[in-house]
Amino acid sequence: MKALIRRLSAAIVIVALGALPVRAQQPLDRSKIPPPGKAPELRVPTWTKATLANGIELFVSEKHNLPLVSFSLLVMGGANQFEAANRRGVASLTASMMSEGTTTRDGEALSNALQLLGTSVNVGIGSESGSLGFVSTTAKFAPTLDILADMLRHSTFPAPALERLRAQRLVQLNASKAQPGAVASRVFPKILYGTDHPFGQIVTEDTLKAITRDDVVAFHKAYFQPGRATIVVVGDITPAAAKAAVEKALAGWPAGGSKPAFAYPALPPKPPTTIYLVDKPGAAQSTFAIGITGPPRSTADYYAIEVMNTLLGGMFQSRLNANIREEKGLSYGVSSMFSFGKGPGPFRAGGDIISAKSDVALIEFMKELRGIQGSRPVTDEEIETSKASLVQSLPGMFGSVTSIGSAIGQLWLQGLPDDYYQQYGAKIGAVTKADMVRVAKQHIDLDHLAIVIVGDRATIEGPLKATGIAPIVVLDIEGNTVK
């Protein structure tokens, strides 16, 4: 009774405000799904562009609701472009070495200064791009930028620090070999691309041990150049103030360098579909990584692939997860994705599967991969949900200063047009069911898959073999063939 009274009084308030009709007296019919309200307008952030004296392009996007500013200096190209095959890991070590001291501040002084500013400068170099950046309160923007510039321009790369960092990396690498997911992520690219291709080269004990201080200094010099960099500033700052601060901090950074060509070598021939079983005795689960080399971000099939993969393994209610987790209970979660970039990043489907059901799961993975290629037709509801989940997630990309910064940065890194986000809905909307089937067939070649499974060989080898899906090659945790 009380609840009813409360609801009535709430309705009275609403009527008084003239906002809503009276509905409370009618019995609530819960069987009807409340329809959505009017779709909100997509509000894509705007930004200005300016060119600094040394040629760097500066993007500034204003957002004044909170006293925050994010700064990112992005570098086009990454470890795949700038590391030698026998020095894999030098990019990451160089990034860490930039916190080890400058000509005027040693490592502790840098750390103390940043702690007192309440922030940190993060340097990261990935496979195809790198960044040097921070988020600060508005008041701390200029002093933090000064420290970033000092790290960029005046790092001293002390040799003892390299030895300490190298030792830490070696322990991390060793520890990771007990982690099935980490093992799968090392073996999978090696199988797909081979060690002659940058995508197949991984950091090993040998490459880490080979890196010298000279390598670090040379990498830093070659890599951080204005000609391949851009700066994105987002937040509580005006374009004029941002430009003045950045010009001041980076005034002495001389022009030079150019964007890398991203010229990757040809991919190795793909062998027929094979199961690569990495033995992990006693494992309670089998870690699956099923995949193939994929297309670059510039492919004309990008939008169709996104819609197709969302349905296949990109959502909780994707076909893979709905089947293997929710219906069959074989896993805590399975998924699939394409790693889009400048090069031929992989398609990868997988997850962690209860050991005793590894064969069942493999059969289901293959069934869903065949299904998306036409044997299980895409329904109207499936394509609409996949599209809506992609298009309507756009506003979530513009919520924070860092997410806006990366949304802008992606346009620059991938060479996308300024109105990319405005056009996104129409591009996704144009994808048809036939497109989905076509790109699934074209980009997930079922006859040439690498099926990497890290698990307990004694339990799973026989059942996997009995599926007849593919021959089995047994590997050690480094990805080398076991006799």
* Interface with other proteins in residues 48-107 (CB under 8 A): 65-68, 107
- Which of the ranges 254-262, 270-278, 371-379, 399-407 carries the binding residues for other proteins, by CB under 8 A? 399-407
User: Would you count residue 25 as binding other proteins (CB under 8 A)?
Assistant: no
Most distant CA pair in the chain, distance = 81
Distance (Å, whole) CA 5 – CA 143: 58
Binding flag, residue 352, other proteins (CB under 8 A):
yes
For the CB of residue 177, give the shortest distance to other proteins in the complex, in Å: 5
Query: From the CB of 384, what's the least distance to other proteins, in Å?
Result: 9
CB of 291 vs other proteins, minimal distance in Å: 19
**What is the chain's Cα-based Rg?**
26
- State the minimum distance, in angstroms, from the CB of residue 288 to other proteins: 12
Residues forming beta bridges with residue 231, ordered by sequence position: 58, 73
Contacts of 300 (CB under 8 A, 6+ apart): none
Pick the binder of other proteins from 204, 385, 410, 459 (CB under 8 A). 385
CA angle 424, 429, 433 (to 5 degrees): 135
Nearer to other proteins, 104 or 317 (CB): 317
CB of 392 to other proteins, least distance (A): 3
Distances (CA, A) of 230 to 93, 135, 195, 291, 408: 22, 17, 31, 34, 11
DSSP 3-state percent helix, strand, coil across the chain (nearest 5) = 50, 20, 35
* Nearer residue to other proteins within complex by CB, 32 or 483: 32
Would you say 144 or 273 has its CB closer to other proteins? 144
Rounded least distance, CB 328 to other proteins, Å: 8
- Residues 324 and 469: their CA atoms lie apart, in Å, by 18
The number of residues that bind other proteins (CB under 8 A) is: 93
Residue 393 in the binding site for other proteins (CB under 8 A): yes
Residues 6+ apart with CB under 8 A from 17: none
174 versus 375: smaller Cβ distance to other proteins: 174
Which C-beta is closer to other proteins: that of 53 or that of 175? 175
- List the one residue from 71, 228, 329, 461 that touches other proteins (CB under 8 A): 329
Report the relative pairing of strands 331-338 and 229-235 from DSSP bridges.
unpaired
Amino acid 110 reads L
Strands 57-62 and 229-235 turn out to be: parallel
**Residues 114-143 contacting other proteins, CB under 8 A:** 115-120, 135-137, 139-140
Phi and psi at residue 133, in whole multiples of 5°?
Answer: -165, 180
> Whole-angstrom distance between the N-terminal and C-terminal Cα of the chain?
76
Query: Does residue 379 bind other proteins (CB under 8 A)?
Result: no
- Rounded (10°) angle between helices 380-391 and 302-309: 110
36 binds other proteins (CB under 8 A): yes
31 binds other proteins (CB under 8 A): yes
Please enumerate in sequence order all residues whose Cβ is within 8 A of that of 111, keeping only pairs 6 or more positions apart, or say none: 99
Residues in 213-252 at the binding interface with other proteins, rule: CB under 8 A = none
Stretch that binds other proteins, among 51-59, 108-116, 249-257, 367-375 (CB under 8 A): 108-116
Site residues for other proteins, window 154-173 (CB under 8 A)?
164, 167-168, 170-172
Which residue's CB is nearer to other proteins, number 269 or number 281? 281
Q: Please report whether residue 209 would count as binding other proteins according to CB under 8 A.
A: no
331-350 binders of other proteins (CB under 8 A): 331-333
For residues 164 and 441, which CB has a smaller minimum distance to other proteins in the complex?
A: 164
Write phi, then psi, for 92 (nearest 5 degrees): -65, -40
What is d(CA 358, CA 195) in angstroms, rounded to the nearest whole number? 28
Distance between CA atoms of residues 148 and 249, nearest Å: 9
CB nearer other proteins, residue 86 or residue 112: 112
Is residue 174 part of the contact set for other proteins (CB under 8 A)?
yes
To the nearest whole angstrom, how small is the minimum distance from the Cβ of residue 395 to other proteins? 5
Q: Does 272 bind other proteins (CB under 8 A)?
A: no
Enumerate residues 279-308 that contact other proteins by CB under 8 A: 282-285
Answer for the pair 149, 252: CB distance below 8 angstroms, yes or no: no
